[in-house]
């Protein structure tokens, strides 16, 4: 994972609420066995409409997406995060995110920034003409107009994003603790350890 | 030895979720993130190929293949899988075929048990897990699918994960997580005639809203759930994610134990007795506090359908399509206007006047034997309306299919004019060839009515199996109580 620090550039003022992952990437794009190339299918139904914000040349290459409440609800498909990455999106700003989507985004180095609706509304306005800057280190979103919005980020996620750390590698460092737990757990709940249960039976 | 979870006097009363969580914490860091041990991992063909590929690239192995079970479901066609000579029929779509081939190769390569596309045990992961006794009360269960919440119906902490998390679980048998908030959804009283677990959960989602459960694990409590069959509990918990909650669960009881006993992967002998002794203690303690509480009177619930493009857009079948202006929230007004435009509906239109052209009975929400029986009861000896252009019944597993055929349900569906298919996710998500055509309206027992979910331009109305069968008979949304 690439380290994340400052994300600056145009922000796509999408603004829609309850954007589900079927909208971000419809199911027929999920037949792939690769993580690549999903940008072509991103927001397919939205982009079928003329004058949509995603195909507006003003936002070509924009690294930030601004959306409404509950972004990424529905299916757990990580293809939604891969599709955004392939579009060049490095951060999404919204009043709230679904739990699974925000986890998937984080694991792909996409920053999810939660801000109150009024601040999101202000950024939607700014994004019409000007860039937005997100600084992960100071946890702020700024604009060329002296807007300065602070956001919360889970300290562990921040640490991983800034360091570009691989979560699997971090957990594998705790191998001994996991092994200890496994033997304890197997004694306390032997019926869960399938291998041994079947032999006993 | 195994002991029941005790309510120690010095420990504050805990919810069921907290008990299962506490029993699975490997360790917790200062920032509050825990490494949580995972007891059961279900793997399917769509969200796993990239995870296996990542393991391969990093030279990693699967830590506990014995706790992992793979079965294809999402992308399989539901037409015949073997020809007259018992030979496998290849999948026509090369991408779908490649995805299935990847799982068929990855499972043995990583030492994971695999239920093949043509095995009797094959089915939708969330039907297979409980049916095989692979999903057990008090266990932690994950799968790269958001409807993993279903397994909460047998009293497990079960939730959907993304592909990076699939990789994480394969490699470490754990996840890094923070403890969720808890929500109690309490439903007391008695569901009226013709009102099912599906009507109940649709009603609950309508009350909570599609984001109401975000950050929470829901525990469904009250005598309504205590009286429910395991199948109905799975239906309720399945749609927790539609209320934003990653997991939903119901305290396991004798109904669950009787359901699981003797199933292929369930413990047996002494292990079974010890397990049941432990499971009997898996209840929220008296005085346990929930972060959020919702109370619903069962008597208030009617057969329920959705009218819009979010699962929270629910209404009783006797009601009308709402006027977008009737919502207080301006953004909800905008969303409702867009929904009605997509759905081709007018404000104030009676729901029972809405014509449907397609019927889908299936999905991890409603494809178990009880669901098929409920639909067949409505259809028995009758024929679907001439308005229905496409109607399929897709059993949740090969074993459900066999059971239904033994009971003659397949004949009832076929004689009524519906197609009887092979098991899989099918038209729930519009990934395999089973799609609703653009502009067509479908009475569907699935779980999501999102824009384009059942196919580009498809219009979905969610409902119970009995209500979908009723719509099939009349060619429009129908109160099943008017037919019996």
What confidence tens digit (pLDDT) does each residue in B26-40 have?
999 999 999 999 999
**By C-alpha distance, which of B422, B429, B394, B433 is closest to B92?**
B433
Q: How confident is the model at residue B480 (pLDDT cuts 50, 70, 90)?
A: very high
With residue A132 as reference, give the H or E element that holds it. strand A132-135
On whether both A95 and A135 belong to a single domain, the answer is yes
Q: Is residue A1 part of a domain?
A: no
Owner of token pair 């092994």: A179
The answer to whether ipTM exceeds 0.90 is yes
pLDDT for position B29: 94
On whether both A89 and A181 belong to a single domain, the answer is no
For residue B1, pLDDT over 50 is answered with no
What confidence tens digit (pLDDT) does each residue in B95-153 have?
999 999 999 999 999 999 999 999 999 999 999 999 999 999 999 999 999 999 999 99
On whether both A197 and A101 belong to a single domain, the answer is no
Domain ranges of chain B: 35-177+254-275, 180-252+284-299, 306-482
Measured distance CA(B204)–CA(B240) in Å, rounded = 9
Question: Which chain A residues touch B164 with a CB distance below 8 Å?
Answer: 78, 104, 107-108, 167
Contact assignment for A99 to B214 by CB distance below 8 Å: yes
Q: Is residue A122 part of a domain?
A: yes
For residue A201, pLDDT over 80 is answered with no
Chain B residue at shortest CA distance from A76: B146
On whether both A142 and A114 belong to a single domain, the answer is yes
From the candidates A19, A25, A31, A47, which should be mutated to test the interface with B, based on the most B CB atoms within 10 A? A31
pLDDT for position B301: 97
* CB of B162 closer than 8 Å to CB of A107: yes
Shortest distance between the Cα of A144 and any Cα of chain B, in A, equals 28
Contact assignment for B160 to A76 by CB distance below 8 Å: yes
In B342-404 the beta strands, taken as DSSP E runs, fall at 358-361, 390-393
Contact assignment for A171 to B171 by CB distance below 8 Å: yes
Helix/strand/coil percent split, chain A, to 5? 45, 15, 40
Average pLDDT on B288-305 reads 97
Considering CB atoms only, which of A31, A45, A182 is closest to B452? A45
SS3 (DSSP) at B231 = helix
Question: Which chain A residues touch B265 with a CB distance below 8 Å?
Answer: 194
pLDDT for position A2: 83
On whether both A118 and A199 belong to a single domain, the answer is no
From the candidates A16, A18, A85, A120, which should be mutated to test the interface with B, based on the most B CB atoms within 10 A? A18
On whether both A38 and A134 belong to a single domain, the answer is yes
SS3 (DSSP) at B232 = helix
How many structural domains does chain A have? 2
Considering CB atoms only, which of A35, A100, A167 is closest to B176? A167
Considering CB atoms only, which of B27, B47, B331 is closest to A77? B47
The token pair at A60 is: 């070509």
On whether both A175 and A138 belong to a single domain, the answer is no
From the candidates A38, A83, A189, which should be mutated to test the interface with B, based on the most B CB atoms within 10 A? A189
Measured distance CA(B373)–CA(A135) in Å, rounded = 57
Question: Which chain B residues touch A201 with a CB distance below 8 Å?
Answer: 267-269, 271
Measured distance CA(B88)–CA(B92) in Å, rounded = 12
Tally C-beta pairs within 8 A across A and B: 196
Average pLDDT on B387-407 reads 98
Q: Domain limits at A187?
A: 167-201
Q: Is residue A39 part of a domain?
A: yes
Least confident of A38-42, B5-9, B334-338, B473-477: B5-9
Contact assignment for B210 to A96 by CB distance below 8 Å: no
Chain B residue at shortest CA distance from A195: B66
From the candidates A168, A173, A176, A180, which should be mutated to test the interface with B, based on the most B CB atoms within 10 A? A168
Measured distance CA(A85)–CA(A109) in Å, rounded = 9
Q: How confident is the model at residue A197 (pLDDT cuts 50, 70, 90)?
A: very low
Measured distance CA(B214)–CA(B185) in Å, rounded = 14
Question: Which chain B residues touch A178 with a CB distance below 8 Å?
Answer: 26, 35, 37, 63, 172-174
Indicate which CATH number applies to the domain containing A66. Answer: 3.20.19.10
Q: Is residue A149 part of a domain?
A: yes
CA dihedral of B376, B379, B383, B387, whole degrees rounded to 10? -100
Contact of A176 with chain B, judged by CB distance below 8 Å, is answered with no
Considering CB atoms only, which of A78, A155, A189 is closest to B2? A189
On whether both A21 and A36 belong to a single domain, the answer is yes
Looking at chain A from residue 10 to 69, which residues have their Cβ under 8 Å from any Cβ of chain B? Answer: 17-18, 20, 22-23, 26-28, 30-35, 44-45, 68-69
On whether both A158 and A174 belong to a single domain, the answer is no
pLDDT for position A198: 41
Contact assignment for A168 to B27 by CB distance below 8 Å: no
Shortest distance between the Cα of A185 and any Cα of chain B, in A, equals 8
Domain formed by B35-177+254-275, architecture: 2-Layer Sandwich (3.30)
* CB of A117 closer than 8 Å to CB of A96: no
Percentage of the residues of chain A whose pLDDT score is greater than 70: 97
Considering CB atoms only, which of B39, B144, B431 is closest to A27? B431
For residue A88, pLDDT over 70 is answered with yes
SS3 (DSSP) at B316 = strand
Distances (CA, A) of B178 to A37, A156, B30, B322: 32, 11, 11, 39
Percentage of the residues of chain B whose pLDDT score is greater than 90: 97
pLDDT for position B8: 54
Contact assignment for B37 to A185 by CB distance below 8 Å: yes
Continuous H helices in A52-113 = 79-87, 99-107
Contact assignment for B174 to A171 by CB distance below 8 Å: yes
Question: Which chain B residues touch A160 with a CB distance below 8 Å?
Answer: none
* CB of B431 closer than 8 Å to CB of B458: no
Looking at chain B from residue 221 to 280, which residues have their Cβ under 8 Å from any Cβ of chain A? Answer: 241, 244, 246, 265, 267-272, 274-275, 278
Contact of B142 with chain A, judged by CB distance below 8 Å, is answered with no
Average pLDDT on B197-221 reads 97
Chain A residue at shortest CA distance from B3: A188
Measured distance CA(B375)–CA(B443) in Å, rounded = 12
Contact assignment for A76 to B164 by CB distance below 8 Å: no
**Mean pLDDT across chain B, nearest whole number?**
96
Domain formed by B180-252+284-299, architecture: 3-Layer(aba) Sandwich (3.40)
* CB of A72 closer than 8 Å to CB of A21: yes
Considering CB atoms only, which of B98, B144, B453 is closest to A76? B144
Measured distance CA(A134)–CA(A142) in Å, rounded = 7
For residue A196, pLDDT over 70 is answered with no
Looking at chain A from residue 89 to 148, which residues have their Cβ under 8 Å from any Cβ of chain B? Answer: 96, 98-100, 103-104, 107-108
Shortest distance between the Cα of A63 and any Cα of chain B, in A, equals 22
Q: How confident is the model at residue B5 (pLDDT cuts 50, 70, 90)?
A: low
Average pLDDT on B255-281 reads 97
Average pLDDT on A134-151 reads 98
For residue B10, pLDDT over 90 is answered with no
Helix axes B369-379, B398-406, angle to 10 degrees: 40
What confidence tens digit (pLDDT) does each residue in B50-85 have?
999 999 999 999 999 999 999 999 999 999 999 999
On whether both A102 and A193 belong to a single domain, the answer is no
The token pair at A199 is: 């032999």
**By C-alpha distance, which of B42, B171, B167, B43 is closest to B102?**
B43
For residue A1, pLDDT over 80 is answered with no
Contact assignment for A99 to B215 by CB distance below 8 Å: yes
Considering CB atoms only, which of A98, A107, A190 is closest to B271? A190
The CATH class that applies to domain B306-482 reads alpha beta
Measured distance CA(A198)–CA(A191) in Å, rounded = 9
Q: Do domains B35-177+254-275 and B306-482 have the same CATH topology?
A: yes
Partners of A135 in beta bridges: A6, A140
What confidence tens digit (pLDDT) does each residue in B415-450 have?
999 999 999 999 999 999 999 999 999 999 999 999
Measured distance CA(B310)–CA(A93) in Å, rounded = 22
Q: Is residue A133 part of a domain?
A: yes
On whether both A127 and A191 belong to a single domain, the answer is no
Considering CB atoms only, which of A35, A69, A195 is closest to B66? A195
Owner of token pair 């029941």: B4
Question: Which chain B residues touch A98 with a CB distance below 8 Å?
Answer: 211, 214, 244
Which pairing describes strands B33-37 and B25-28: parallel, antiparallel, or unpaired? antiparallel
- pTM for this entry: 0.96
């Amino acid at each position: 994972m690439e380290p994340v620090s400052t994300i600056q550039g145009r922000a796509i003022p999408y603004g829609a609420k309850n954007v589900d992952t079927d909208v971000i990437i419809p199911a027929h794009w999920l037949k792939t066995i690769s993580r690549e190339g999903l940008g072509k299918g991103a927001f397919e139904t939205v982009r079928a409409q003329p004058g949509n914000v995603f195909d507006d040349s003003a936002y070509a290459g924009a690294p930030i997406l601004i959306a409404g409440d509950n972004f990424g609800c529905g299916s757990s498909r990580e293809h939604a995060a891969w599709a955004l990455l392939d579009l060049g999106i490095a951060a999404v700003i919204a009043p709230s995110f679904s739990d699974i989507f925000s986890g998937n985004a984080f694991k792909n180095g996409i920053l999810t920034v939660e801000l109150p609706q009024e601040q999101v509304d202000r950024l939607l306005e700014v994004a019409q003409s000007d860039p937005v800057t997100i600084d992960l280190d100071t946890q702020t979103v700024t604009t060329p107009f002296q807007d300065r919005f602070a956001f919360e980020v889970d300290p562990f996620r921040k640490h991983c994003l800034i360091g570009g750390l691989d979560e699997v590698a971090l957990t594998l460092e705790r191998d001994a603790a996991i092994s200890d737990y496994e033997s304890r757990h197997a004694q306390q709940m032997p019926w869960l350890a399938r291998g041994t249960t079947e032999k006993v039976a | 030895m195994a002991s029941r979870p005790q309510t120690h006097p010095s420990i504050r009363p805990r919810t069921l979720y907290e008990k299962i969580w506490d029993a699975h914490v490997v360790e917790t860091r200062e920032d509050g993130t825990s490494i949580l041990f995972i007891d059961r991992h279900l793997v399917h063909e769509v969200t796993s190929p990239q995870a296996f590929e990542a393991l391969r690239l990093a030279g990693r192995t699967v830590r506990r293949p014995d706790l992992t079970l793979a079965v294809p479901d999402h992308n399989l066609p539901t037409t015949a899988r073997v020809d007259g000579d018992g030979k496998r029929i290849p999948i026509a779509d090369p991408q779908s075929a490649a995805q299935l081939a990847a799982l068929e190769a990855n499972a043995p390569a990583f030492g994971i048990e695999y239920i093949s596309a043509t095995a009797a045990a094959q089915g939708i992961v969330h039907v297979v897990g409980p049916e095989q006794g692979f999903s057990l009360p008090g266990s932690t269960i994950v799968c790269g699918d958001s409807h993993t919440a279903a397994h909460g119906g047998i009293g497990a902490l079960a939730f959907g994960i993304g592909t990076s998390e699939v990789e994480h679980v394969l490699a470490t048998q754990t996840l890094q997580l923070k403890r969720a908030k808890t929500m109690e959804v309490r439903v007391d009283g008695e569901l009226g005639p013709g009102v099912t677990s599906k009507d109940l959960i649709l009603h609950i989602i309508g009350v909570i809203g599609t984001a109401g459960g975000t950050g929470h694990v829901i525990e469904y409590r009250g005598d309504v759930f205590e009286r429910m069959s395991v199948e109905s509990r799975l239906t309720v918990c399945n749609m927790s994610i539609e209320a934003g909650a990653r997991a939903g669960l119901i305290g396991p009881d004798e109904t669950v134990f009787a359901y699981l006993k003797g199933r292929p992967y369930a413990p047996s002998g002494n292990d079974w007795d010890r397990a049941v002794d432990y499971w009997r203690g898996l209840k929220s303690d008296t005085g346990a506090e929930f972060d959020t509480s919702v109370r619903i009177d069962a008597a208030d619930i009617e057969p329920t359908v959705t009218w819009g493009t979010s699962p929270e857009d629910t209404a009783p079948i006797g009601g009308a399509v709402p006027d977008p202006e009737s919502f207080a929230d301006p953004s909800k007004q905008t969303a409702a206007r867009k929904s009605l435009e997509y759905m081709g509906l007018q404000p104030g239109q009676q729901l029972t006047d809405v014509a449907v052209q397609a019927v889908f009975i299936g999905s991890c929400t409603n494809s178990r034997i009880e669901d098929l029986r409920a639909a067949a009861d409505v259809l028995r000896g009758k024929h679907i309306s001439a308005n229905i252009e496409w109607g399929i019944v897709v059993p949740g597993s090969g074993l459900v299919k066999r059971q239904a055929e033994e009971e003659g349900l397949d004949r009832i569906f076929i004689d009524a004019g519906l197609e009887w298919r092979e098991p899989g996710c099918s038209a729930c998500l519009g990934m395999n060839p089973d799609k609703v055509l653009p502009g067509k309206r479908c009475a569907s027992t699935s779980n999501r009515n999102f824009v384009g979910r059942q196919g580009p331009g498809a219009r979905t109305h969610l409902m119970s199996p009995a209500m979908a069968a009723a719509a099939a008979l009349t060619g429009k949304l129908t109160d099943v109580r008017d037919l019996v």
